[in-house]
Amino acid sequence: MSISLSRIPEFDGAADILSDDALAFIEKLHQKFAGTRNELLAARDVRRKQFSDAKAIDFDPATEEVRNGDWKVAEAPAALQDRRVEITGPATPAKMAINALNSGAKVWLADLEDASTPSWNNVIDAVKNLSDAARGKLAFTDEKTGKSYALRTDAPLATVVVRPRGWHLPENNVLIDGKPGVGALVDFGLHFFHNAKVLAESGQGPFYYLPKMEHYLEVRLWNEVFTFAQAELGIEYGTVRATMLIETIPAAFQMDEFLYELRDHVSGLNAGRWDYLFSIIKTFREAGDAFIMPDRADVSMTAPMMRAYTELLVKTCHKRGAFAMGGMAAFIPNRREPEVTAAAFEKVRADKTREANDGFDGSWVAHPDLVGTCMEVFDSVLGSKPNQLDKQRPEVEVTAEQLLDIASAPGSVTEAGVRLNLYVAVAYTAVWLSGNGAVAIHNLMEDAATAEISRSQIWQQIRNKVVAADTGNTITAELVASILDEEVEKLRGEVNDAERFAKYYEPAATLIGTLVSGRDEDFADFLTTGAYELLEKEYVTKP
Ligand SMILES: CC(=O)SCCNC(=O)CCNC(=O)[C@H](O)C(C)(C)COP(=O)(O)OP(=O)(O)OC[C@H]1O[C@@H](n2cnc3c(N)ncnc32)[C@H](O)[C@@H]1OP(=O)(O)O
Ligand SMILES: O=CC(=O)O
Ligand SMILES: [Mg+2]
């Protein structure tokens, strides 16, 4: 097996991140783990079809012993005992990293997944920023504004928890025997290689968030990666700690199994609500009326199936001694519009209050101005305790039917919802292609997970011939195509920059137009896979 690179990004420090020793480590990770990763991805397709045909998923009888067994995960290290507020955001540009580290949050989820466009420059800059942060020397001057950014010294910085890409994404710029590498192994491998020792020495990690897994064997693979990586670099077994997102519907049926597989390296589970909704739509997209999701804006965390999911997560985590982490309310403040900010504070407060009262140990915010709201809510529930691991939920009983009870989610499908989904999916994908993996649209945070819901809902609605509640029209491919045209014209006017529109919005619109078609052959497992092909072809590798 041999490793090579398409190119080294042209900025200071990139060559150091891609040193020969680091690449040798990445090559070893691929040698040992890429084959299993490929098999596990193929197994996802087979299972999904089975679930869709059966119109059901159930708890696996083969792992009943794990679910009924009396076991606990390893105790969390001091740096992760108090996670009441976690800010999320990309690790590039450096100013975002510094703002997150300085935000007052206990943890920063440094995101190479939902909030990140994995252009080669972004991936390497993110690792470089994380490496500088681990050594306390991250600083930045914004060339546009002249504003300088430095790590604060007057208060603790957030503890860094890095989220590498999910198992599905390739890394086209790392070639293994001439073929694309595995994004997850590149992100993890580079971060771990450069930072594991320094973080371990200061008790600050290395810590990870693991996204988008669908089966406990995928967790087992991460456990093997961690075990190997620690041994290879002489780091004590069990130093790595990871929090796993329960953000796919099959994973909701395996919370115990996930924790068990990673029990020496785990610190908790997180309720990743946006990918979770996407996963429900994706899994059951052709399974008929019982699985039609209402308009995205209608589905809230108080819908019965979402209550079942979060209640089961808290119960399972605390029974096993693992943290239960809340998810992202998408409302974000706007510093130029006080009434938008006030509404965001109120909605986020309500969301965090529900989570804190349910027993979550902390939760996520998308913006520094929301740290205070989340902190106040958890302070009032936790009191002097760092977490509420002691809050057991024996009264919670959740069935497979409750987890899959989509039909009783309040709300309806409307043509206005279709229109909004198309607008958001195209606008987000265009911004993603321009290098930003997260953006505010209509005062909501949009990232890869929220955009996935928008595009997959439309496919599901066309496929199942859903009738729109507001117009009485059946949602057909033709209707969607004509609304898409209108929304693209609206965006053209708003963007008002022909070159930018042609470069980012037109390819985004073409991609989304295909993905939503309602035809089997057009439904991609991930929006970002197609977008990544465009990114690599059109925007990065071309001179
Ligand atoms: C489904 C999921 O996975 S959720 C987790 C993944 N998603 C995310 O992490 C999204 C995180 N949030 C963001 O990226 C941003 O908040 C956005 C894109 C939604 C909005 O960003 P902006 O439009 O820049 O917001 P705004 O102009 O109000 O920002 C004000 C300041 O706060 C900073 N800021 C905003 N959000 C963040 C953040 N999450 N982390 C660090 N700094 C931030 C901005 O950089 C800006 O700093 P500056 O004044 O020094 O220039
Ligand atoms: O990653 C989080 C989500 O909601 O998706
Ligand atoms: Mg997600």
Task: Convert the pLDDT of each residue in 84-132 to its tens digit.
Answer: 999 999 999 999 999 999 999 999 999 999 999 999 999 999 999 999 9
Q: Is residue 53 over pLDDT 90?
A: yes
Q: Are residues 100 and 32 in the same domain?
A: yes
What is the CA(401)–ligand 3 centre distance, in A? 23
Q: Is residue 413 over pLDDT 80?
A: yes
Q: Are residues 294 and 377 in the same domain?
A: yes
Mutate to test the pocket of ligand 2, among 114, 313, 450 (most ligand atoms within 8 A of CB): 114
What is the CA(147)–ligand 3 centre distance, in A? 32
CA torsion through residues 285, 288, 290, 294, sign: positive
Q: Measured from the CB, is residue 452 less than 6 Å from ligand 2?
A: no
Region 167-184 average pLDDT:
97
Q: Is residue 524 over pLDDT 50?
A: yes
Mutate to test the pocket of ligand 2, among 274, 306, 360, 452 (most ligand atoms within 8 A of CB): 274
Q: Are residues 223 and 339 in the same domain?
A: yes
Q: Measured from the CB, is residue 328 less than 6 Å from ligand 2?
A: yes
pLDDT number for residue 292: 97
Q: Are residues 242 and 265 in the same domain?
A: yes
Region 152-167 average pLDDT:
97
Mutate to test the pocket of ligand 2, among 214, 246, 276, 528 (most ligand atoms within 8 A of CB): 276
Distances (CA, A) of 121 to 51, 124, 272, 496: 39, 5, 27, 27
pLDDT number for residue 537: 78
Q: Catalytic site residue 520?
A: no
Q: Are residues 344 and 434 in the same domain?
A: no
Q: Which atom of ligand 2 is nearest to the CA of 449?
A: 5
* Closest Cα to atom 1 of ligand 2: 272
What is the CA(522)–ligand 2 centre distance, in A? 24
Q: Is 338 among the domain residues? A: yes
Q: Which of 354, 374, 401 is the last residue of a domain?
A: 401
Ligand nearest to the Cα of 243, by number: 2
What is the CA(459)–ligand 2 centre distance, in A? 21
Q: Are residues 23 and 130 in the same domain?
A: yes
What is the CA(208)–ligand 1 centre distance, in A? 20
Q: List residues near ligand 1 (CB under 6 A).
A: 87-89, 95-96, 99-100, 111, 114-115, 274, 328, 332, 335, 366-368, 438-440, 445, 447, 449
The band of 198, judged by pLDDT with boundaries at 50, 70 and 90, is: very high
Q: Are residues 113 and 245 in the same domain?
A: yes
CATH of the domain at 128: 3.20.20.360
What is the CA(367)–ligand 1 centre distance, in A? 5
The band of 277, judged by pLDDT with boundaries at 50, 70 and 90, is: very high
User: Which of 521 and 144 is assigned the larger pLDDT?
Assistant: 521
Catalytic residue among 82, 125, 132, 447: 447
* Closest Cα to atom 34 of ligand 1: 367
Q: Is 348 among the domain residues? A: yes
What is the CA(247)–ligand 3 centre distance, in A? 6
* Closest Cα to atom 45 of ligand 1: 96
Q: At what angle do helices 183-201 and 120-134 cross, to 10 degrees?
A: 10
Q: Is 490 among the domain residues? A: yes
Q: Are residues 130 and 199 in the same domain?
A: yes
The contacts of residue 8 (CB under 8 Å, 6+ apart) are 14, 15, 18
Region 26-36 average pLDDT:
98
Q: Is residue 10 over pLDDT 70?
A: yes
The band of 1, judged by pLDDT with boundaries at 50, 70 and 90, is: confident
The contacts of residue 349 (CB under 8 Å, 6+ apart) are 373, 376, 377
Q: What is the DSSP string of 211-245?
A: ----SHHHHHHHHHHHHHHHHHHTPPTT--EEEEE
Q: Catalytic site residue 45?
A: no
Q: Are residues 242 and 94 in the same domain?
A: yes
What is the number of structural domains in the chain? 2
Residue given tokens 């137009």 in the structure block: 513
pLDDT number for residue 200: 98
Backbone angles phi, psi at 59, to 5 degrees: -65, 140
Backbone angles phi, psi at 316, to 5 degrees: -65, -45
Q: Measured from the CB, is residue 181 less than 6 Å from ligand 2?
A: no
pLDDT number for residue 475: 98
Q: Is residue 542 over pLDDT 50?
A: no
Q: Which of 341, 374, 401 is the last residue of a domain?
A: 401
Catalytic residue among 84, 163, 285, 455: 163
What is the CA(284)–ligand 3 centre distance, in A? 18
Region 227-234 average pLDDT:
98
Region 242-270 average pLDDT:
98
Region 502-522 average pLDDT:
96
pLDDT number for residue 539: 61
Q: Are 97 and 133 in contact (CB under 8 A)?
A: yes
Distances (CA, A) of 241 to 34, 193, 207, 261, 359: 22, 16, 5, 13, 21
* Closest Cα to atom 36 of ligand 1: 367
The model carries a pTM of 0.98
CATH of the domain at 536: 1.20.1220.12
pLDDT number for residue 395: 98
Q: Is 408 among the domain residues? A: no
Q: Are residues 332 and 192 in the same domain?
A: yes
Mean pLDDT of the chain: 97
Q: Are residues 430 and 331 in the same domain?
A: no
The band of 536, judged by pLDDT with boundaries at 50, 70 and 90, is: confident
**Domain assignment of residue 525, given as a range:** 415-540
Burial track 134-148 (b if 16+ CB lie within 10 A, e otherwise): beeebebeeeeeeee
Q: Is 347 among the domain residues? A: yes
Q: Measured from the CB, is residue 530 less than 6 Å from ligand 2?
A: no
Q: Which of 370, 401, 432 is the last residue of a domain?
A: 401
Q: Is 456 among the domain residues? A: yes
CA-based radius of gyration for the chain: 22
Mutate to test the pocket of ligand 2, among 210, 213, 328, 453 (most ligand atoms within 8 A of CB): 328
Q: Is 199 among the domain residues? A: yes
Q: Are residues 222 and 347 in the same domain?
A: yes
Backbone angles phi, psi at 108, to 5 degrees: -115, 120
Amino acid (1-letter code) at residue 36: T
Q: Are 170 and 159 in contact (CB under 8 A)?
A: no
Q: Is 406 among the domain residues? A: no
Q: Measured from the CB, is residue 446 less than 6 Å from ligand 2?
A: no
The band of 340, judged by pLDDT with boundaries at 50, 70 and 90, is: very high
Residue given tokens 């150091």 in the structure block: 16
Q: Measured from the CB, is residue 86 less than 6 Å from ligand 2?
A: no
Region 190-212 average pLDDT:
98
